[in-house]
Structure 1
Amino acid sequence: MLTGDQYRASLDDGRATFFEGERVTDLPGHPVLGTVVDNVADGYDWLALKAVDGVSPVSGVPTTPQELREKVELVHTAGMMAHVNYTSLMTLTTAASRLAGHGAEYAERIQAFVTDAQDRDIRITQCITDAKGDRSLSPVKQSDPDAYVRVVDRQADGIVIRGAKLHITAASFGHELMTIPTKAMKPGEEDYAVAALIPVNAPGVKIVNTTYAPRHDDLRIFPMSGQEHFPEGFVIFDDVFVPHERVFLDGETGSAAVFAHSLGLWERLGGLSAMADGADVLVGFAQLVAEANGLERISHVREKISEMIIHATVVRACLEAALSHAETGVFGAVFPNELYTNAGKYTGATEYHKLVRHLHDIAGAAVVTAPSMADLENPEVGPLVRKYMATKPEIDGEYRTRLFHAIRDLTADAYGGWKLVTNIQAGGGLYAQRIVTRKHYDLDGAKQAALQTAGLAGTSTTDAGPSRGI
């Protein structure tokens, strides 16, 4: 296993990473991005304490539902980079399982890479979303053929790819870029049906970083985002050579969607896990601020918090169902249940705004107008700010002010905006979850149950009348 310091040293490999118009040559020493490096390094050291016989606890593929549950809980606690890496490895494992029957060579390459990645204890990030150009046009009809990542040259020992992948969390802070098709490809789009593992420091790879990290001297008013933030990478492949052993798909349009579907499953499971915990936190903030404002017994406030509790419970139940009904693949690996994973992720994302709306309604405008911590410390106005921010003897002004700062940082500032968008988009947009949920739902069983209820059991839906919308 790598130590935190070894991880820091591994980033000094010539990678071309940029932030706010400048190339970053020292990631650990960067005033904004350095915090990310520290977080990932701390995660390495934390996992090392939980190692068994020198093996990282996030290595290995779960083979029972209980192992899957333990992995999900561990990865969720270990931080963003551990989650992204585990999701990448499980995506590859899932894809290998699904390619085994008609892409045996690719499946073997994938398994070899996964083993090597676990041995090296590296971190992998996922590159799936293309620039896409005109969304109404397919890849081959774009005015710029590079709107989707594609193969521009095939050589005796490998391929050359060109294009860009967007919204890649922590791309600059891993070691490998898992680059896969963003969607299914059709005949004639062979050059776009490409999947490969590419080192972050490979010649031609350039990463532009954006981040919600606060640019403020006093991080006390950013209690969450000031301590942990992960940039999104705009990853550019400027004619990057990839040797054959790192190519996991090249031209097989019929298999292009395998990787996206595999990633979607694990991304949505990770999102569902985060939403389950996150919903509990929002409920907690709502109750705390209601008590701080003296509103905890007001009926409409209690009703709002009850609605939030029900949502949090339903999302948690979907997570439990996804893990309890886990399924086993052809290589013995266990995967979360597709139906409950997608239904839970969809529910969590579509209802998130309601939780935030109730929280803001209960908290009041001070969520965005509360004075800073420095104001509380000012000798002239500080005592007055404390006086008027207090509500009762047991709720002093500083406590209530800090509560508002936490709510603002989590739900009403740059980090809050990032969470709002990524809850919807992570793992594919809401439409993708609707499609997968419908695919795995027993619709025929539901129809038969309805026929039974109507006293029409034994009557086909054709005999009963037109089956609309099915």
Structure 2
Amino acid sequence: MLTGQQYKDSLRDGRRVYFEGKLVDDLESVPALAVPLQRAADAYDAYYDPAPDAVNPVTMAPRSPDELRNRIPVITEMDLLTNTTYQSLMTLSVAAARLEAHAPEFVPRIRQYVDGARRADVRIAECITDAKGNRSLSPSQQEDPDSYVRVVERRPDGVVIRGAKLHISAAAFGHDLMVMPTKSMKPGEEDYSIAAIVPVGAPGVTITNTTYHPRNRDDRDFPVSSRDSIPDSMVIFDDVFVPTERVFLDGQTAQAAVFAHSLGLWERLGGVSFMVQQADELVGLASLIAEANGTSRISHVREKIDEMMIHATLLRAGLEAALSHAQATPEGYYYPDDMYTNVTKYQGAAQFSTMVRHLHDIAGGAVVTAPSMSDFDNPDLAPLLDKYMGTGSGISGKYRTQLFHAIRDTTADSFGGWHHVTNLQSGGGMFAQRLVTRKNYDIERARELALKAAGLAGS
């Protein structure tokens, strides 16, 4: 296993990482990258075990419903890069089982990589969404054939790939990139049916970064995003060579969707687990700011908080149902029930804007107009700000202002906007959740009940 410092040192591999148009030689030299880098390093130190045969327990697959349930608090507390590594290794383990009957030549490679990745304590970023070009056209119909990642050359010792993957969280901080088809493919699209592991530092890999991390601002005004941010990247593959042992699918169109479907099992669990915690956090912020504003007993405020509590409880119930109905792969790895997980994620995404609207309505306009915390450092301003931002009864102006900044940071600024989009899109958009529900819902039982109610049963 690696220590945090060893992890940082391991990233000095000549990788081409850009931030705001500039090539970054040292990730720690850019504050917006240094903070999430340190968070990932801290996670290494938290799990570090010097024993020569030690592996990070987070990367091990749950072998029972109880183990799966116990993994939830770990998922919500771990850094995103460790989480994507866990999801990647679980994805590969499930995919290997699903390829056994149709593409068995890839199974030993996958299992060998999973075992080696655990032992080497590497971090993995998931690369699934392609540039896609014209969304109305299939990969083989695109004006630019590179709109989807594809094989441009096959050699005796490997393949050469070209294309780009978008929306890749933490790509600059990983060791490996898990590249997979973003969708099912059809005959004639063999070159797009490619799944492989690509080192971040491989020649031809270029990574751009964008982030909601606050820059050149007082961290106290961004109490969440200043300490817990992650960049999202475009990963460009410009004729990147991948050796045979790291190629996990090559040309098998019928199996192209195996990796994406396997990833969905684990990614949506992480998404739902976070949504449950986030919903409770919004309730807490609403309760605290209503108390600070002196409005906690007003009926419409109480009703909005009631709705937020009901929403949070329903999401938790959905997560509990997904865990209680956990299913097992043929190898005995447990994952949450598909339908309950997808229904819960759909509800969380569909109602998020309404819950945020309730919070903003309860809090008031100071969510975006409250003075900076640095204003309280000024001895001339501080007494006045404390006087006019305070509400009496032990509610100081500084305390109330801190609440406003927490609400703005998480719901009404860059970080909040990021949440609005990622709650909808991460793990597949809302349409994907509807499809899974349609596939798994017991519609025949519902029809039978309807016929019985109409007096038509048995007719």
Instruction: Give the TM-score category using the shorter length.
Output: over 0.9
Q: For residue 320 of structure 1, what is the aligned residue in structure 2? A: 320
Residue identity matched to 2:364: G
- Gap regions ≥5 residues in structure 1: 460-470
Matched, 1:430 2:425: no
Distance 2:121 2:22 in 1: 30
**Alignment match, 2:131:** 131
**Range moving further from structure 2, 398-407 or 433-442:** 433-442
**Deviations, residues 27-53 of structure 1 (Å, cap 9, x unaligned):** 133332111111000111112279998
Native 8 Å contact 2:59 2:89 kept in 1: no
Using the TM superposition, give the Cα deviation of residue 360 of structure 1 relative to its aligned residue in structure 2, in angstroms.
0.1
Deviation at 1:450, TM superposition (A): 2.5
Query: For the residues of structure 2 that align with 1:57 and 1:296, how far apart are their CA atoms?
Result: 44
User: Residue 71 of structure 1: CA displacement?
Assistant: 2.3
CA distance in structure 2 between the partners assigned to 1:208 and 1:395 by the alignment: 44
Alpha carbons 1:223, 1:409 under 8 Å: kept: yes
Counterpart of 1:380 in structure 2 is 380
Tell me, yes or no, if the aligned pair for 2:207 and 2:236 is still in contact at 8 Å.
yes
1 CA distance for matches of 2:54 and 2:253? Answer: 41
The alignment yields a C-alpha RMSD, in angstroms, of 1.5
1:200-231 deviations in Å (ceiling 9; x for gaps): 01111100011111012421110000111100
Distance 1:51 1:344 in 2: 40
Partner of 2:228: 228
Matched, 1:369 2:369: yes
What secondary structure sits across from 1:7 in the alignment? helix
Q: Within 5 A, what are the aligned runs for 1:407-426?
A: 407-426=407-426
Secondary structure at 1:166 match in 2: strand
Give the distance between the partners of 1:6 and 1:108, measured in 2 at CA: 29
CA distance, structure 2, for counterparts of residue 103 and residue 23 of structure 1 = 40
Please list, as runs of the form range in 1=range in 2, the aligned pairs for 1:439-450 lying within 5 A after superposition: 439-450=439-450
Query: Matched residues, percent identical?
Result: 59
Q: Distance in 2 between matches of 1:178 and 1:184?
A: 17
Contact (CA 8 Å) 2:32, 2:211: kept in 1 or not? Answer: no
Contact 1:47 1:78 in 2 (8 A): no
Partner of 2:109: 109
Aligned to 2:336: 336
Q: TM-score, normalised by structure 1?
A: 0.95
- Judged with a 3 Å threshold, the aligned counterparts in structure 2 of structure 1 residues 62 and 152 are, in CA distance, closer, same or farther, namely same
- Which deviations, in whole Å up to 9, do the C-alpha atoms of 1:407-447 show, x marking residues without a partner? 00000000000011000000111101100111111112222
Q: Does 1:166 pair with 2:163?
A: no
User: In structure 1, what is the equivalent of residue 31 of structure 2?
Assistant: 31
Pair 1:200-2:221 in alignment: no
Asked whether the equivalents of residues 389 and 398 of structure 1 are also in contact (C-alpha less than 8 Å), the reply is yes
Greater Cα offset, 307-316 or 371-380: 371-380
Q: Distance in 1 between matches of 2:439 and 2:98?
A: 17
Judged with a 3 Å threshold, the aligned counterparts in structure 2 of structure 1 residues 175 and 53 are, in CA distance, closer, same or farther, namely closer
Residue number in structure 1 paired with 2:405: 405
For residues 53 and 302 of structure 1, the distance between their equivalents in structure 2, rounded to whole angstroms, comes to 55
- Equivalent position of 1:249 in the other structure: 249
Q: 1:243 to 1:53 in 2, by over 3 A?
A: closer
Give the match for residue 309 of structure 1.
Answer: 309
Residue correspondence of structure 1 range 145-294 to structure 2 within 5 A: 145-294=145-294
The aligned length equals 459
Q: Structure 2 CA distance, aligned partners of 1:345 and 1:278?
A: 12
Report the CA distance between 1:70 and its aligned residue: 1.8
Residue 107 of structure 1, CA deviation: 2.2
State the secondary structure of the residue aligned to 1:63. Answer: coil
* Contact 2:75-2:273 within 8 A present in 1 as well: no
Letter in 2 for 1:342: N
> Normalising by the residue count of structure 2, what TM-score does the alignment of the two structures yield?
0.97
Structure 1 residue identity aligned to 2:378? N
Which residue of structure 2 aligns with residue 44 of structure 1?
44
Instruction: Give the residue type in structure 2 aligned to 1:79.
Output: D
